[in-house]
A and B are shown apart, each in its own frame.
Chain A
């Protein structure tokens, strides 16, 4: 108890953070720990896009962007600490890049009135904006991913997958468990056999899981992995000579860091994605001129053009566009988190906007409304070409099975509303 006095003194030092007048987009990143292979490229992309906007355009509507970074190590406790330490800076929007931290923050951001964007992650039913007014998960969510993967399998099998054996290999956490209910519903609808194999965090050891896969001989394996779990799984699949084109990962299992260590063995591995791959975009010319060549690139600067780096750019692009919309709606360049929320809720991404930003044909078109915070659920399948060392999109953007997913979202969000005493509605 004696130490409380010392604690007080300690806290006084820490609370003395400077007040900032700029637009603050905090980055809760993780560059350490078993999930760093995914965390580093995203954090770099996120930071580089903001640097570009500051350097090229002088900020958003003349307001410079501040991006305080806070290391979470993908750990929920540190994530909460990061949120608490940055929310006082006037933070406009959070993108935690961790489903666990997202679950933790949903009630907190709702109480504090700060929007949160979880593109392709987080709580899927947050798509229902009437229950989750402060949470956005456009352009696609986990259940869309699961459904698009099954649609791809349907296409490959000529429309009939009754009796097909599909295994879900998942990270044993809230993140990995997300698609289970959707896949179960889809299995009822299409008649495929679903088997579930969990991998405990962090997933460096998967011998027994792959032994089970070898014994069960599934026709397809779908993977919900992250961090080191991906590399290990793809290596193990290659070891047992599982056909790589029957192995489909979610977008978080589809980065260069996951397939490159496996070498040629990973050739043909497939992953879902909700944006395009590579660095063949006009935006990269600007990034080179204004960021890379000036030595302002975040991190080690070796992630440019990788899948998750692009996702970081995309995430930053979405919030910058939303901030522009917010500035337009409220007629002021100094926006608050409430205004930012309005911007996110009125966001419309069309092919023209994407082209104007230097990202033609990069992502799906969508618009956000109060009822729909999650976009239209379009995703594509990318395939890894180990020889060329690049991802290629092998399908168009396909819409997920809305007649399965919508009722699930409705049911799950209403259950949350009841549990938390939220009155669903738009204001």
Chain B
């Protein structure tokens, strides 16, 4: 009944090639956009934004980024946390004004608008990501994972050590000063819930549409060719250098933006070892795996699953049932871990595949024969 193409005629190639060719799917997508942009901002408060929406939106960006690299191009990366740190620190430098000391004289750029700071942070991260992507030209699989792990540790060490990167603050912390877009604050403590939410949502929407189209186009096909069999891809004319490095660049661009938003809009203050440690890399990797490799929707689903489930469990166990907080925290870890394992056994291709199966079923429902 749902998701049927019957009667949904296309008369041009443009129509045929659109992102959501099925009418029902397309309307659902528009409905979600309308709700996200026009309804949610009016009903959310600080708690919803800071505990649910911001982490979900930001992790979704990071998960899309990692999905491009791991899911589409097949390059395993454990450096996500480090790349997020690059984004965060770059954003901090841009939003406070990049300073250079030459011969005792200080030259500083003026502080850049937060929107462009975030984009510039993404670009800086893209270059760093390409740099650390170079080993991928020679090594694959587990060995590449180890090389990116080195990036993770190196970058965390760098931002702990390099005083210029945190403006010589005594504690090594970076703090996001108040910055705004069109006169509305989006960083700093006086930000309204809706402003922070919309700011991240705009980024997520643009980036998700970009990712969807990149992966459907020639670039995405090259990535997937490299993923499926790199030698065959090379023989049919895919340049592995360009394909792999472009995947690293685009992926790091996304992750850098996620890191910048994570620091500037969500946390407001960050410390590299704590906020961007190795656990962050694994968390984003789990999101991608649970959500589904090689799927933009999977990135959303994975991020939602791993952000919402702990919050939900905590609220049910502590606020709902009144259990001790330590017991609830331990149980939460076990339940989330158990669910991940169960999911992977029952549906190795992640939540995205589950969704695809449901869609197929819905096409035939209620007459499956």
Contact = CB atoms under 8 A, between A and B. Distances in A.
Contact of B190 (A36, A111, A123): A111
Interface residues of A, number: 58
A81 B48 contact: no
Contacts of A201: 273-274, 277
Contact of A85 (B47, B160, B273): B47
Contacts of A40: 326
Most chain A CB within a 10 A radius of its CB, from B53, B177, B325:
B325
Contacts of B318: 69-71
B250 to A, nearest CB: 21
Contacts of B300: 1-3
Interface stretch (B4-12, B113-121, B216-224, B263-271): B263-271
A80 B329 contact: no
A4 B274 contact: no
Contacts of A13: 315
Interface in B1-58: 28-29, 32-33, 35-36, 40, 45-48, 50-53, 55-56
Given A10-B312, A70-B325, A172-B273, A1 B32 contact: yes
A71 B171 contact: no
A15 interface: yes
Contacts of A69: 318, 325
Interface stretch (A176-184, A235-243, A275-283): A176-184
Nearest to A198: B160
A372 B166 CA distance: 28
Contacts of A4: 32, 35-36, 40
A77 B35 contact: no
A52 to B, nearest CB: 19
A1 B33 contact: yes
B178 interface: yes
B274 A7 contact: no
Most chain B CB within a 10 A radius of its CB, from A6, A36, A100, A110:
A100
B189 A110 contact: yes
Contacts of B236: none
A29 interface: yes
A326 interface: no
A177 B40 contact: no
A76 B328 contact: no
B311 A81 contact: yes
A339 B54 CA distance: 32
Interface string A266-310: 000000000000000000000000000000000100000000000
A133 to B, nearest CB: 13
A84 interface: yes
B319 A177 contact: no
Interface of A: 1-8, 10-11, 13-15, 17, 29, 31-32, 36, 40, 69-71, 73, 75-77, 80-81, 84-85, 87-88, 99-100, 103-104, 106-108, 110-112, 123, 172-174, 177-178, 180-181, 198, 200-201, 299, 412, 419-421
11 contacts: A4-B35, A4-B36, A6-B304, A14-B47, A15-B45, A76-B270, A77-B275, A107-B268, A173-B273, A174-B172, A201-B273
Interface of B: 28-29, 32-33, 35-36, 40, 45-48, 50-53, 55-56, 96, 160, 170-173, 175, 177-178, 188-190, 266-271, 273-275, 277, 297, 300-301, 304, 308, 311-312, 314-315, 318-319, 324-326, 328-330
